[in-house]
Amino acid sequence: MPREITGFSNPLVKQVRGLREKKLRKREGLFLAEGLRILTEAREQGVLPEMVFLASGARPHPLAQELADAVEQAGGEVILTTPDILSKISGKDNAQAIVGVYRDRLKPLAQLDRAAAPIWFVAQAMRDPGNLGTLMRIGDAVGAGGVILVDDCVDPFSVEAVRASMGALFTQAIAQASWSEFIAWLRTGPGQLVGTSLNTDQDYQAPHYTAPTFLMIGNEARGLPEDYEAACDLLVKIPMMGRADSLNASVAGAVMAYEVLNQMRRGNG
């Protein structure tokens, strides 16, 4: 049976609201996802929340009801609450009518199956949650396997990253590693490491990309460190016709990934 919570000071509401902070997400190993679209996407991937909060009163959307039923059957908890408390949990004035609490999805690098997809993203010290979420959404679009977070990246389970991913968080594998762990793992199998850089004249359309291609996207302000560039199999440059010398990090990821996908669609791979 769903439980009903109407008090702002309920300890569970406080605890779940705390998941908007990275420290508490880490401690609990949980994160928040909001909105029927993202929660349904997760469910279609076979991922159910451990707890789901629904706005009480209004009759729930049929998909929300199905989701709630599935959560209960799986031993999770369904909580009916007020729109005000949902807003408090999500930190938005105009909250979604459904919020899920999920077990965090970090995979050990050793469990990634690199052969499962032709493209992988490597995000290096990416700091903007919108960029990281958008990169996962692009990964889904190009049929990538997932994203490997190297160095001090923003938390992929932050509310902003989850929102920007539009549910791709549940289709993309997510791993985290130090640079030395990553490069050691990479060299135990096939894989072309590709960096975008200002320190090369090689046009990004010139090379022949082979699966699996690992597209490494550097920090928004600084780009890739020199020794990381030196470790790449290919350094390429996206042409810049105007005054700026760089693209937004996730945009650069998209331009690169579609080039790789387009080559593979033409059957080069």
Candidate residues 34, 41, 155, 229; the one interacting with a second copy per rule CB under 8 A: 41
The distance of Cα 186 from the centroid of its chain, to the nearest Å, equals: 20
- Examine residue 36 and tell whether it contacts a second copy (CB under 8 A): no
Q: Contact with a second copy (CB under 8 A): which of 181, 183, 258, 269?
A: 258
Bridge partner list, 203:
237
For residue 203, which phi and psi values (nearest 5 degrees)?
A: -65, 145
Q: Name the token pair of 140.
A: 């889904």
Residue 199 C-beta: closest distance to a second copy, Å: 18
Using the contact rule CB under 8 A, the part of the chain among 58-66, 72-80, 150-158, 234-242 near a second copy is: 234-242
Minimal distance, residue 246 CB to a second copy, in Å: 8
Angstrom distances, CA of residue 264 to CA of 10, 143, 168, 213, 257: 53, 11, 22, 11, 11
Q: Answer whether 131's CB lies under 8 Å from 225's CB.
A: no
**Measured between alpha carbons, how far is 70 from 138 in angstroms, rounded to an integer?**
29
Instruction: For residue 240, state whether it binds a second copy (rule: CB under 8 A).
Output: yes
Stretch that binds a second copy, among 56-64, 155-163, 176-184, 240-248 (CB under 8 A): 240-248
d(CA 204, CA 202): 6
264 SS3 class? helix
- Please answer whether residues 71 and 52 qualify as being in contact, where contact means their C-beta atoms are separated by less than 8 angstroms: yes
Please give the residues from 145 up to 184 whose contact with a second copy meets the rule CB under 8 A: 164, 166-168, 171
Ordered alpha helix ranges (H), 143-206? 159-165, 179-186
Q: Which of 7, 108, 143, 190 is the binder for a second copy (CB under 8 A)?
A: 143
Contacts of 247 (CB under 8 A, 6+ apart): 238, 240, 255
47 contacts a second copy (rule: CB under 8 A)? no
Q: How far is the CB of 56 from a second copy (least distance, A)?
A: 26
Are the C-beta atoms of 9 and 85 separated by less than 8 Å?
no
In whole angstroms, the minimum distance from the beta carbon of 117 to a second copy comes to: 9
Indicate whether 95 belongs to the interface with a second copy (CB under 8 A): no
Name which position in 81, 124, 134, 197 contacts a second copy (CB under 8 A): 134
Does 190 bind a second copy (CB under 8 A)? Our answer is no
Residue whose tokens read 């997932």: 146
Angle at 141 between CA 136 and CA 145, to 5 degrees: 60
Of 52-60, 75-83, 130-138, 185-193, which segment contacts a second copy by CB under 8 A? 130-138
- The nearest distance, CB 132 to a second copy, in angstroms, is 12
Task: Examine residue 205 and tell whether it contacts a second copy (CB under 8 A).
Answer: yes
Residue 251 in the binding site for a second copy (CB under 8 A): yes
User: Can residue 44 be called a binding residue for a second copy (CB under 8 A)?
Assistant: yes
Distance CA 64, CA 187 (A): 44
List contacts with a second copy (CB under 8 A). 41, 44-45, 130, 134, 137-143, 164, 166-168, 171, 205, 238-244, 247-248, 250-251, 254-255, 258, 261-262, 265
